Amino acid sequence: MTRKKIIAANWKMNNMTAETAAFFGAIGDSCKGLNDREVIVTPSFPYLAQAAALAKGRGITIAAQDFHPEENGAFTGEVSLAMLTDLGVRTVLIGHSERRHVMGETHEHIRKKVAFAQKKGFRVIFCIGETLAQRQKGELFAVIDHQLSTAFDGNLTCPPDDMVIAYEPVWAIGTGVNATGAQAQEMHDYIRHFMDKQYGRKDIVILYGGSVKPDNVKELMLMPDIDGALVGGASLKAESFSKLIFWDK
Ligand code: 13P
């Protein structure tokens, strides 16, 4: 089976109305009809509807950075999957390092989100990664095992294409220090074997994230188990994101 290639932008808490319009204006129709890779853009909530309208018919998928795993109700400040469906969005990030480490999301909350998204038929980009201290202490693989096991245990029921993993070492996010191709490949290979052994998902799509830039994208993408990239800083402007989308052109 050939695994789908994905180049995804995570805008985090960046890009407002004018920047969103400029981004889609500059990207234009360049992604229309692409069938060897999928392009995803993940704006913050206030700009989802704008981005969804601008992306329509242009071969770009719009995804959400977060959601709350309840149907609806008294959850001030939160966004439901029904609201995302209403906007035509069916892909969500879960487990991003900033949600784990800055917002304090627990393994239990993340597990609940994974279960809820699967129940509602959403596609998940599930983010995992170790801190520098964990890597230096040699806990690298144990941390990844734990993040994968607690999220999916007995609970990975979605169709294969609806679970994408993003390996994002915390020390590489926003630091300008990316994992080398060899470091990322070692972990992607490990994740692939883990997902095959535990869940029979050898062909799961695994993205790399953490300081991906036009000048390092090729080294990463040429690795056999790297199926794409999840990009923060270098995805905010169309000029640099285009170089990542078309890294091999
Ligand atoms: P940077 O590309 O800015 O390092 O961010 C990576 C990331 O966290 C994407 O989710």
pLDDT at residue 2, as a whole number: 81
Residue 191 main-chain phi, psi, to 5 deg? -60, -40
Whether 168 is catalytic is yes
pLDDT of amino acid 154: 72
Task: Determine the length of the chain.
Answer: 249
What are the structural domain ranges in the chain? 5-245
* Per-residue pLDDT at 122: 98
- What is the CATH code of the structural domain delimited by 5-245? 3.20.20.70
Q: Is any ligand 1 atom within 6 A of the Cβ of residue 228?
A: no
The whole-number mean pLDDT for each consecutive block of 10 residues of the chain, a chain of 249 residues, reads: 91 98 98 97 98 98 98 98 98 98 96 96 98 96 96 88 97 96 98 95 97 98 98 98 97
Candidates 97, 243, 104; CA nearest to 171 is 97
CA of 74 to the centre of ligand 1 (A): 31
Task: List, for residues 186-204, the tens digit of each pLDDT value.
Answer: 999 999 999 999 999 999 9
The structure tokens 């202490």 sit at 137
The confidence score (pLDDT) of residue 1 equals: 64
Closest atom of ligand 1 to 212 CA is: 2
List pLDDT tens digits, range 113-122.
999 999 999 9
Q: Among 106, 136, 112, which Cα is nearest to 124's?
A: 112
Q: How many angstroms is it from 211 CA to the middle of ligand 1?
A: 6
Residue to mutate, 7, 10, 101, 241, ligand 1, most ligand atoms under 8 Å from C-beta: 10
The answer to whether 109 is a known catalytic residue is no
Residue type, position 240, single letter: S
